[in-house]
Structure 1
Amino acid sequence: MNGPTATPATPTSPATPATSRVIVVGSGPTGLLLAGDLAAAGIPVTVLEKRPHGISNLSRAFVLHARALEQLDARAVADELEAVGKPLTRLNLFDGLTLDVGALPSRFRHVLVIPQYEVEKVLERRAVQAGVDFRYESEVTGLSQDADGVTVHVEGAEGDEDLRAAYVVGADGMRSAVRTAVGLPFPGRSAIRSVVLADVLLDEQPETLITAAAVGDAFAFLAPFGDGYHRVICWHRGRDVPDHEPVGLDEVREITRLALGRDFGMREARWVSRFHSDERQAPGYRVGRVFLAGDAAHVHTPAGGQGMNTGLQDAANLSWKLAAVLHGHAAPGLLDTYQAERHPVGRSVLRSSGAIVRLAMAKGWQLPVRSVLVAVLDRLAPVRARIMGQITGVGYRYPAPRGAHPLTGARVPDLALAGGGRLYEALRGGRFVLVTPGAYEAGEGRADRLAVAHWASDRGTTVLVRPDGYAAWAAEDARAADIESALAAHVG
């Protein structure tokens, strides 16, 4: 079968009628959150997935960080996941360097250890309830776009067909057919080769929820599934073999013993695999009416557990913008901010995850350098806080216009609101939230996309919070005319 092909955008449109539908390619966490958001906003959505229907337990992601949990809280599913996962309040990196997640400025002052498939279950159910059209065993083999929309060629179990949409989002992973179809390169390199991954039973339970260490040329990571099995990820510097090279439980045991001092009585592996970890990022997240999100846009080492979390935040950033444009509440230029806001974050994640894994696997002359660095970090609380903000996602902010209020572009934490509510509960309708110290009526024309709330404290700042929890605008002692101007610019 030939690879996906693309026809570049042309100034004229075909006879195919315009549509408001969005096609999302890929049903991982990124695609599911995005599709569910759009459907909940009243946008017709089709999800194309080349695999048969089913939630796989072979996922590699194992943690949810605070910022992703905040986004899930705004969709009323965080508490359900909290009940399933296990909280971890301290991240142990290397040479005794520990990050105290319990100090985060968030409702979620922990890392939630939870397999990716549990996240997918919840997000899939939400998407189905919102009315998303799922089409499994449907492979994208090409697309073309014009001034009015995108035509996607699909090969499915019942034959080939062309589907038409206003926009297409490729959330189809590292080997994205959508990215290939629009001709975007995926520059980067393999950071770690011959990583071994296995799901095993343990006769001895580890003392900590997540167990990880690097000794000499060996690294190993253990985390529980919650069903009795543990996920093992391990690597040995001296064993650089192709991904297709067979791997057995003896190899997993040996590397784990070298890194952790014992193998915890590993037995009954239900799955073993070998893979390589890449560091790559597409130069652009948008080509015309086609967008990339999650691993289709960026991949990096698993250090810090930032992969699934970054993809969920990509989806949260893009979904409300697509909905606003398709409903006619915002100009198409709003979609350009997806690249401007999310591409720098993806680049930062590549750097931070790469730095962690390189420091963890230091050897020779690098070891004393690492020890000095850890000693310095132990004494510099602001630097540790910045590192923690990057890993957990709460430290990122988006560009703001020159002269804007300092809050503009910043992540807004879960504010306590008058009447006993919380900001992220107010965000659950997918609307903007205006938090103001004084009275203000949203007006009937904006009631479906704007909620008005008031501070539980006596703070005098007025802040307009976007549906993804970032400040679109803020002002001190704002007048009604100032608020109206801001609403007209951002809410429509």
Structure 2
Amino acid sequence: MNGETSERHVIVVGAGPTGLLLAGDLAAAGVPVTLVEKRGHRISNLSRAFVVHARTLEQLDARGLADALEAKGRTLDRINLFGRLSVRLDTLPSRFNHLLVIPQYEVEEVLERRAVEAGVRFRYETEVTAIEQGTDAGTATGVGAGGEEGGVTVVVRTADGGTDRLIAAYVVGTDGHRSAVRTAVGLPFPGKSVIRSVVLADVRLDEEPAQVLTANAVGDAFAFIAPFGDGYHRVIGWHRGHDVPDSEPLGLDEVREITRLALGRDYGMRDARWMSRFHSDERQAPAYRVGRVFLAGDAAHVHTPAGGQGMNTGLQDAANLGWKLAAVLGGHADPALLDTYEAERHPVGRAVLRSSGGIVRLAMAKSPWMLGLRTALTTLVNQVAPVRTRAVGRITGIGYRYAAPRGAHRLVGTRVPDVALITGRLHESLRGGRFVLVTPPGREPEGDRGDRLAVGHWTSDCRTTVLVRPDGYVAWAADDAVDDATVEAALREWLGEPLGESLEPGKPLGSEV
């Protein structure tokens, strides 16, 4: 058996979008990362996700990746639901005031390339079989062989059938709804199947749909069509009257029939290159952390595909966790900062389960009272601006904020738009995984934190000083009367000491969010 030991090493399990983004973030911050993947080295074109929402595009923009994806995909400025509800996106307070329609594998290719360039070590055809945590599972120090003095050991089965032991400071399971990591640490995955016998087919169409995304639901059926961009389209459908096991053979005639029921035509679908049945679950792990092991993406939560929020929620998980692990392993933050990952992201996962579940239940409505409820909610969203703003904010991700401690400034925990600074856009300043201190012109912080902090000045007459976290949310803020000593205290709390100064033992940094 071979072993790997590192007090700063992180093992990410699962090379989907969530794992690729997280591993790339950590490696870019100088953290040694191994990405373990059960599959071989192949990005499949059998994508599950097709939609990238505004908040995710903002996160990708902060990594210099959004423009390349925008060039490959197609944008949509509104979301149509239930036939009568058309939600405009072009009024979003974001540079990305639209939906990007692009297959998941295109996103994975961009994220994989970044991870490779950052130095992530990939181990394909490697399956997790067990996880062993040391006695000091709550701290970032004392990693020993076998995890005996702290740290965590991942036992894996290699491509040749052998066994290996990989030792690291932390492990993150991003290995999907059947997560081996979640199972290994004993976390349940409570929930239920919401829809059974959903059909899926990748086909060619003789007739191109009028819209980039085509979707509709009637009482007994719904269907969704999205383009791959290579001549094929993904078709997803469901028929209430044909509830069969996932193992039941699927023919193209059945897909055509469901599509005609829901959309009125089948668009001349032919030449299926892949077809299958699946069921859609709503599940969430009760905790996202067990000692030194974290869960993110589908390993932590799964829900219906309604609203296209699955991949996006996982990428937001990764954006939240990555900078925190890097800060702790870099010695700039107390390990207590890592507890805020679950505190912030678990409520978001729960909210996504509710919103996506609500959409699909309304789409499946058949009883008179449910149809009446759908009509009432459609009218409410169409006619009441605050309700529409809240709904769009939840679906696109820009409407979420993280809870702030009592007495914190009103901005703490809120998302910061891509504001203009004298030196450029905020998202450009966030590149490199740094905090950004946005202040009125003339203020410069003391000390050298260039590896962790960028300073930007408002182009307007705004007098507020804001410390923006690497994931684009406000860590700390103060109004115009703030003095330099107060700013420096905030920087020390969140970023540690300037270069050349050591961290005081036991001093908590960023332990509250």
**Shorter-chain TM band:** over 0.9
Task: State the alpha-carbon separation in 2 of the partners of residues 178 and 249 from structure 1.
Answer: 37
Which amino acid is the alignment partner of residue 61 of structure 1?
A
For 1:401, the equivalent position in structure 2 comes to 405
In structure 2, C-alpha distance between the alignment counterparts of 1:194 and 1:254, rounded to whole Å = 14
- AA in 2 matched with 1:144: E
More deviation in 436-445 or 43-52?
A: 436-445
Identify the residue that residue 217 of structure 1 maps to in structure 2.
220
The residue type paired with residue 248 of structure 1 is G
Q: Does 1:82 align with 2:70?
A: yes
Match status 1:112 vs 2:115: no
8 Å CA contact 1:30, 1:315 repeated in 2:
yes
Name the aligned partner's letter for residue 73 of structure 2: G
Aligned to 2:179: 176
Any conservation in 1 of the 2:435–2:468 contact (CA below 8 Å)? yes
Q: Tell me what 1:266 maps to.
A: 269
Return the alpha-carbon distance in structure 2 between the equivalents of residues 128 and 393 of structure 1.
28
Q: Which residue of 2 aligns with 1:152?
A: 154
Aligned-partner Cα distance in 1 for 2:459–2:87: 31
Given the alignment, which residue of 335, 339, 348 partners 1:336?
339
What residue identity is the alignment partner of 1:358? R
Is residue 452 from structure 1 mapped to residue 455 from structure 2 by the alignment? yes
Q: Which of 59, 62, 65 is equivalent to 1:71?
A: 59
5 Å-filtered alignment, 1:86-105, equals: 86-105=74-93
Contact 1:101/1:111 (8 A) holds in 2: yes
- The CA deviation at 1:299 is 0.2
What are structure 2's unaligned runs of at least 5 residues? 137-149, 497-513
Cα offset, 1:438, TM superposition:
3.5
Q: Tell me the residue number matched to 2:357.
A: 354
Q: 8 Å contact 1:90–1:98 — kept in the other structure?
A: yes
Q: Which residue of 1 aligns with 2:487?
A: 483
Aligned pairs (5 A) from 1:465-484? 465-477=468-480, 478-484=482-488
Structure 2 counterpart of 1:377: 381
- Deviation at residue 248 of structure 1 after TM alignment: 1.0
1:269-307 alpha-carbon deviations (Å, 9 max, x no partner): 000010000000000000000000000000000000000
Gaps of 5+ in 1: 1-14
- Give deviations 1:16-56, integer Å, cap 9, x for gaps: 96521000000000000000000000000000000010110
Is the Cα–Cα contact under 8 Å of residues 4 and 166 in structure 2 kept in the other structure?
A: no
For residues 69-113 of structure 1, the C-alpha deviation after alignment (integer angstroms, 9 at most, x for no partner) is 000001100000000010000000114111111111100000000
Of residues 18, 27, 32, the one that matches 2:20 is 32
How far 1:371 moved relative to its partner?
1.2
- Given that 2:446 and 2:488 are in contact with CA atoms closer than 8 Å, whether structure 1 keeps it comes out as no
Which of 7, 11, 14 is 1:19 aligned to? 7
Structure 2: distance between partners of 1:313 and 1:459: 29
Q: Of 123, 126, 129, which residue of structure 2 is paired with 1:135?
A: 123
CA positional deviation for 1:235: 0.4
Deviation at 1:441, TM superposition (A): 3.3
Question: 1:441 is paired with a residue of what secondary structure?
Answer: coil
The AA in structure 2 aligned to 1:48 is V
Which amino acid is the alignment partner of residue 276 of structure 1? H
Structure 2 CA distance for aligned equivalents of residues 392 and 349 of structure 1: 11
Q: Which letter does structure 2 place at the counterpart of 1:342?
A: R
Q: Using the alignment, how far apart are the partners of 1:17 and 1:133 within structure 2?
A: 14
2:273 equivalent to 1:285: no
CA distance, structure 2, for counterparts of residue 88 and residue 32 of structure 1: 26
Q: Is the Cα–Cα contact under 8 Å of residues 95 and 371 in structure 1 kept in the other structure?
A: no
C-alpha separation in 1, matches of 2:6 and 2:356: 42
Distance 2:253 2:53 in 1: 33
Does 2:394 match 1:390?
Answer: yes
Q: Which runs of 4+ in 1 moved over 3 A?
A: 15-18, 440-445
* Partner SS state of residue 291, structure 1: strand
Among candidates 311, 328, 340, match of residue 308 of structure 1: 311
> What displacement does 1:211 show?
0.4
CA contact (8 A) 2:445 2:484 kept: no
SS in 1 for 2:431: helix
Deviation at 1:216, TM superposition (A): 2.4
C-alpha separation in 2, matches of 1:128 and 1:443: 35
Aligned to 2:327: 324
Distance 1:436 1:95 in 2: 47
Q: Residue 37 of structure 2: which of 49, 56, 80 is its match? A: 49
Letter in 1 for 2:489: S
SS at match of 1:103: coil
Which residue of 1 is the match for residue 500 of structure 2? Answer: none
Distance 1:442 1:42, change over 3 A: farther
In the alignment, which residue of structure 2 is the partner of 1:8?
none
| Matched AA of 2:29 | A
SS at match of 2:404: coil
Question: How far off is 1:364 after superposition?
Answer: 2.4
Quote the residue 2:252 is aligned against: 249
- In the alignment, the residues of structure 1 paired with residue 121 and residue 377 of structure 2 have an alpha-carbon distance, to the nearest angstrom, of 51
Q: Deviations over 1:202-234 (max 9, x none)?
A: 000001110000122010000000001000000
Q: Any idea what the Cα deviations from partners look like across 1:300-348, whole Å, max 9, x if unmatched?
A: 0000000000000000000000000001000000000000000000000
TM-score (norm 2): 0.92
State the AA in 2 paired with 1:78: A
Query: Are the equivalent residues in 1 in contact too, given 2:380–2:387 (CA < 8 A)?
Result: no
CA separation of 1:16/1:25 partners in 2, compared to 1, >3 Å: closer, same or farther?
Answer: closer
1:18 touches 1:149 (CA, 8 Å); kept in 2?
no
- The letter of the residue matching 1:376 is L
Q: Distance in 2 between matches of 1:255 and 1:234?
A: 6
Q: What is the total number of aligned residue pairs between the two structures? A: 477
Helix, strand or coil for the counterpart of 2:420?
coil
1:412 and 2:400 equivalent?
Answer: no
Deviates further, 225-234 or 368-377: 368-377
